[in-house]
Structure 1
């Protein structure tokens, strides 16, 4: 194997690239290996900070299922993290070996890795082992940091795939069924024990110790239930049992043996009547490297549809099912499988009719929400023979909260044998690439009991209306319920105990004789107080949602409905994801309360008439504040996370002011004021650390007056930086504190914080301009150290925090132009890309603020078209180019993104400008929204100036009617209407029926409203030169 490319990995440093983050540095040269061969020498220096230094070489080779690779390593320096990675040829999937806090050995030391030592790290593949390699990387990631040397030499590779065993024997065999046939590639017979063999056994000697992750046994047809034991040995004398089965059914048995290494293997049967094997296939370690990988391997051997889609490594999107009060939530996926509770088992439907077994793979599936966007999802199956509606909902208060799932089967071609099966499966809806703690993939079921009213699964009740016609359970040894269902039967067992944790059950209802419709509801109480579900209960639950989301009243044409309905769904998802007062950005993976997410989600809910959630959140969160004023970045069920993120202090202050602006709740403000004072003063203390002489000049001058380094988003975790995101929030937070203090009469505090905010703003703008000049940038950087291009984060400073008029115009325009160019090239297929994050939605609001209506609507159309799936009005945190790529999604729906969407669309209708204390209406609305149907009307839309009633309708191409109610106060900075206009048209006159206006003589594009209520007809004419 000396020709394998891995052996020449270190032959020339010129084949390698060095990458370093932030201020870290790496220098690569040649060194002499232990055997006098070529090696690599990396000198690295983190310059007192964090980050990483990476060595990367593009090199193509294949890896078999069983292998060993290795190299020699030595070095010097403090303890840091050491990583070895391989990626596929497309550089999208990565497998990684990590070792934390490693002190590199002073002498050459062997490092050896097998396939099990390179687990999947990330990428659209979602899991599995590496096969084709396109690049190799070594990385030093800062732990202690400092500087040091890494040397690498003598790479080795060995393909350890078993070619043929040394011997295969058995205690006996029938004529023509020898033991060797079990391993023969083209065997038509397999092995069978001879009649009368009292202790039949089949055995193999591999000739050397062999690693394998499991085996797949294929059995002869019509074999009775099997009882057998699998044992292994290192020497053929001392044997260890690794698997025991007492009642095996089905054509195949999958046996997991994670991390096993043995020379000898034998299978011993209870009697000769079941002692037969068609084949035994050994699988590599990847087969069972995790419990979820094992199920992936099992699913691949069965017909499509027998297992949920994600076990075939295809993405299956989900959405939450819950109540406006949040607390507990189920999930339903696109195929109609319902996960009853967090990390819980699932309910999955199947149809038996006409002698066939129908799964999700045999029908056309579609998803939907009720008209208007209430978050009550449905899935529909359609085939020529039938349709099936799957309708989950959560109902009941506090200790009576219950999940219900209604299955409505309609047969187009009724037959006497049609049955609905609702299976209990040991799988979550959350797929395995979402794995975190107990989340993702398997949900162990060890115990199932069938009763008259339903089932008890792991102690949890499953109740049915009407009662089942039949039910039964099965173990994994029996291949679960499918071999029986596939033959139109029902498992006989009424109680099972399965040590594998892969038990399943089937609840069966017969279509009534002569009928064509069957409706069944399956209920699972969260608190042991379930009530029988009825159709009225579902309609009552939907009515609750309509009432909750109906605070703002919309009358919009069909062209605007997708945008507005998605706003309502977004608000509903934010409510569902809450855990009491704790707002959370996801239903499963992100059940944590980050201040940044929660304040924005709370502000979004307030924008749709639901301010209580932000008030409750801040009241709950405030006591976690440290005595010195530090606001922690996140709190979850494990407690406070004290990771240093300095955006949280300003966000907390901004959020308190938003609550007060929406409700003028003086009692709340008095309760919050001690926390406000500590947080505002803590910001001043933080900034003081960057006002010393060290930062007035020299290499640190760009940090003068800023907040210290932090990890305010994931990109800065490895290397904390001076993040401008923190500073924008800090300034607006101090201004918010000053405003709140003024309201309560604390004038000295108000003046102090306002003055501090002004100086802070001057220092921030000086820093931004210095970094732009020093680095020669044509964009607004995200941080001092990295000078990173981050339009998604910087847009927050424009759309939400309103720094647009303060940022340098050229770089601001350059940033947005560069973003748009990349956006267009990606979606025209002119550049390679793998995924993106829909946080980019907030850029819509930035373009609205900058008067770029057409661009804002272009982005709106794209993001609406790229919902996953569109009909459920939601976005994952990570959107993969291929919607079925089994890549990590963050969480779905990601309700911080939902909140950014809601706020962006709200700004298109009514934009509050922080810097000028003004309100701008219709600045992002498109012509079709006011020209179609009866135009666009909204009532009770919350603004900081009151509840807005606003109607705008185009009578024709030359006339627009505008009405604004008296329910808001005229903003101190003015109220402007910027209506959408047909191409080439301008405003030429305004005829007021109520109120007054000031004409915009300069552009002919807006109306300044001077008094309320206001009603006017706006006349339009072509611009000069327009036709």
Structure 2
């Protein structure tokens, strides 16, 4: 094991067991609280390496700049860690009278630690820490400065006297560990050489810190007190770090050491503290602003550019941008007051995907997943287009997908790579689902942008044609795509998975429909490939179902693949794709028997793998699956099962997005994340540590871009979704709006919504509780002859009037048809 990882583990363990006043991050506290020597030995070489990389408790918030690649993480105590820098910063308070330190990482009983996103939907993290009459507020936002628009983070610290006067020091820690980890290193090849602090220097003439070979924090107001701490004698002793640090020195001497340059080549755990005294009357505030130059800054001119705008100007510009983007452009939703938190979460999910887009390429996470996957990005791109961010989707699909499009004679075993959409991830793990996803994304975006964009025409040759031929020509003797990992939640790499083929059918369908729209000569060829794959897929699934019936299985379910007959575990979640996003249930594209089995599979998943609305994925992750749970909610929405949809939605919002975790200290819980999802949600956190897995479990990144995109798609489709676009086009109005959303006199509004019909759409639904009536006004009609369906869930139909004319329907009708061209429909119920 690496020596610095062993020392980090020892320092954290000893600090925790001794109760030392030490800024132990939340993730380390949870790992130590329920410690296990078991770890993923396939990924890490030692338990210390797994601990230092934070393999278990990956919870934090994120800030960043739209369409730039330098996100920063914000921890539960307000710690800020630029992803590609070596340091983190964190505020704390010190009272010289009595030499009392107050660290938000370990609040004492009665000290309140709170965290939220600004206005509950802007990507600005606000953390408050109340200690007696002093309240420390930390605000973290990311923005750009200068002619080159380089990224930076603004850390605004405020201490305010509330309920009396307050006297002490406002302090800032410089730490080698942050909200995510100490070192990102594992056997998968993720390695950050400078994830630790080996050299720190404070430059008082510039009020600036140097960290290793780069820039660290830059202070708008120079600190009054400075202390830097390293390991000049190169001693491999954890007690050195526990005794020679800013917090011990403040507690014992009431001062900092005044040193301006330190180094540490052993544990690589240099630390520092900077302090600004305050003596405040009630209601008064001391303000300190710190700039974190997370981009490529060098030289005096860059320092001037970094400092040129005032902190107030930077914050105001950042707020104006995000408010305009999220509230004034694209799809805008308005829901009844008691569920407006869902709109806030929708907007924050939209911001998450925009921040994770690196110059047009959407990545699924800010740290270990900060790279490109065709699979994730196809869903994220379409979610962006349907939210109104079509330029991002078009840039991603038209510019970046071609860069991972393979041409030439290369092969992976029996699979030719000619025509395959995939880079390193897809090739290394044989992710054969990616071609179906790419074709699906091309086709869906062409529909959304409309014929005037000519998007599909530009991508048709060679990408759509050759990508479709790849699916046609690279299948096993059973007609299915070859074995591979596909999406990692499906099971083993040495088996085929129906997930790949569901996507293959969906992609080929979109490719053939695009060919029809273009009048392309390849249309017949593409329809042939589509028919061939769906027939083979249907035959395989029917074969599996027959084998399971012969074995006496009384429950019907589609396993992850044909090599997994009778395997009833949580990998059967792959069948969700049949409904969403692939929409193969429409027109029962795989036949009646498979369609019925897919519906039954949802029942089986619900009976065995859903706990309070959360999807338990024991077979692959030993954790909850937030994005899979959102997909499951979407499947239930599409088949009209509102109650199960609601249960999954409640879990996703309440447990994963606004989860309050175990307390750091004292009696109050801690907000561990606001408005974001992990790829996996730990059982231990979800259960307040009443259920800790007996063996290691898997944790991916947060915020997870795929999960954020799934929530965007789900909320949009709850309000409305299209169906039958190629046969009998219609729109379901408010299909997922639950009766308890419409209690009293309430209103739902959809504005400027992009659609797969290539036009914007909007409507208003108003509920009159006294009259027991719903009024639907189509405020942005589409030119195409599209009909509407309103699923009545509030009661039994009493009357339907369309544009003032009574319509005769059977009173037991629940899916109410509304003709194309309708301006207003009034539905009375009892």
Q: Shorter-chain-normalised TM-score: which range?
A: 0.7 to 0.9
**Larger RCO of the pair (alpha carbons < 8 Å, separation 6+):** 2
Question: Which digits, 9 at most, give the CA deviation of each residue in 1:733-767, with x for residues without a partner?
Answer: 11211222233331x21122123212322221121
Q: Where does residue 670 of structure 2 map in the other structure? A: none
Secondary structure of residue in 2 paired with 1:466: coil
TM score, norm. by length of structure 2: 0.80
User: Equivalents in 1 of 2:168, 2:158: separation in Å?
Assistant: 13
Mapped partners of 2:87, 2:792: distance in 1: 52
Match of 1:294 in 2: 10
Q: 2:682 matched to 1:880? A: yes
Aligned to 2:431: 645
Give, in whole Å, the separation in 2 of the partners of 1:658 and 1:930.
32
Distance in structure 2 (CA, Å) of the matches to 1:595 and 1:971:
34
Q: How many angstroms apart in 1 are the aligned matches of 2:657 and 2:310? A: 30
Q: Does 2:673 correspond to 1:861?
A: no
Q: 1:831 to 1:623 in 2, by over 3 A?
A: closer
| Aligned partner (choices 157, 169, 185) of residue 419 of structure 1 | 169
Looking at structure 2, the residues matched to 842 and 668 of structure 1 have their Cα atoms a distance apart, in angstroms, of 28
By percentage of residues, which structure has more helix?
2
1:396-545 equivalence runs, <5 A: 396=144, 398-412=148-162, 417-431=167-181, 435-436=185-186, 437-438=190-191, 443-452=196-205, 453-458=207-212, 459-476=214-231, 477=240, 479-486=244-251, 487-500=253-266, 501-512=268-279, 514=281, 516-525=284-293, 526-528=295-297, 529=302, 530-531=306-307, 532-545=309-322
Deviation at 1:329, TM superposition (A): 1.0
Whether 1:761 aligns to 2:534 is yes
Conserved 8 A contact 2:785-2:820: no
The answer (yes or no) to whether the contact 2:123–2:141 under 8 Å persists in 1 is no
Pairwise CA RMSD: 3.0
Q: 1:201: which partner in 2?
A: none
Change (3 A) 1:403 1:417: same
Q: Is the 8 A contact 1:684 1:756 kept in 2?
A: yes
Alignment of 1:927-1006 (within 5 A): 927-945=739-757, 946-956=759-769, 958-970=772-784, 974-981=787-794, 985-993=795-803, 1001=810, 1003-1006=812-815
- Residues 1:725 and 2:499 aligned together: yes
Distance, in Å, in 2 between the alignment partners of 1:326 and 1:367 is 25
Residue correspondences, number = 715
2:366 partner SS: coil
CA displacement 1:848-882 (0-9 Å, x = unmatched): 11111122112211211112544611111111122
User: Which whole-Å deviations, capped at 9, do the CAs of 1:603-626 have from their partners, x for residues lacking one?
Assistant: 111121112222111221213211
Alignment match, 1:1008: 817
Residue 938 of structure 1: how far off its partner (Å): 1.4
Contact 1:435 1:441 in 2 (8 A): no
Assess if the C-alpha contact under 8 Å between 1:596 and 1:633 holds in 2.
no
1:669 to 429, 437, 456: 456
Taking a change above 3 Å as real, the CA distance of residues 440 and 569 of structure 1, as seen in their structure-2 partners, is farther
CA distance in 2, matches of 1:524, 1:1011: 55
Tell me how far 1:461 sits from its aligned partner.
3.8
Q: Distance in 2 between matches of 1:323 and 1:825?
A: 36
User: Aligned partners of 1:416, 1:370: CA distance in 2, in Å?
Assistant: 26
Aligned to 1:623: 403
Q: Distance in 2 between matches of 1:1000 and 1:751?
A: 42
Distance in 1 between residues matched to 2:457 and 2:437, nearest whole Å: 18
Structure 2 counterpart of 1:352, from 78, 82, 94: 94
Cα distance between partner residues in 2 of 1:921 and 1:416: 56
Q: Is the 8 A contact 1:337 1:348 kept in 2?
A: yes
Tell me the CA shift for residue 366 of structure 1: 1.5
SS of the counterpart of 2:633? helix
C-alpha separation in 1, matches of 2:488 and 2:183 = 19
Q: How many Å apart are 1:724 and its aligned residue?
A: 1.1
| Cα distance in 1 for residues equivalent to 2:406 and 2:225 | 59
Task: Output the CA distance in 2 between the equivalents of 1:656 and 1:829.
Answer: 30
**Mapping 1:889-928, distance limit 5 Å:** 889-913=699-723, 917-928=729-740
For the structure 1 residues 513 and 961, does the alpha-carbon distance in structure 2 shift closer, same or farther, using more than 3 Å as the test? closer
- Going from structure 1 to structure 2, the CA distance change for 1:831 and 1:481 (only over 3 Å counts) comes to closer
Q: CA–CA distance in 2 between the matches of 1:474 and 1:552? A: 51
Report the structure, 1 or 2, having the larger strand content: 1
Partner of 2:65: 323
Equivalent in 72, 75, 81 of residue 339 of structure 1: 81
Structure 1: any 5+ residue segments left out of the alignment?
1-115, 117-256, 259-287, 691-702, 1022-1027
Distance in 2 between the 1:372 and 1:903 partners? 20
Residue range with higher mean Cα deviation, 649-658 or 829-838 = 829-838
Shift of 1:318: 0.6
Provide TM-score, normalisation by structure 1.
0.65
1:547 to 319, 324, 330: 324
Contact 2:331 2:751 in 1 (8 A): yes
User: For the residues of structure 2 that align with 1:601 and 1:859, how far apart are their CA atoms?
Assistant: 20
Gap change, CA 1:292 and 1:676, over 3 Å in 2: farther
1:802 aligns with 2:556: no
Partner of 1:62: none
* 3-state SS of paired residue (2:803): strand
Taking the aligned partners of 1:606 and 1:975, their CA distance within structure 2 comes to 22
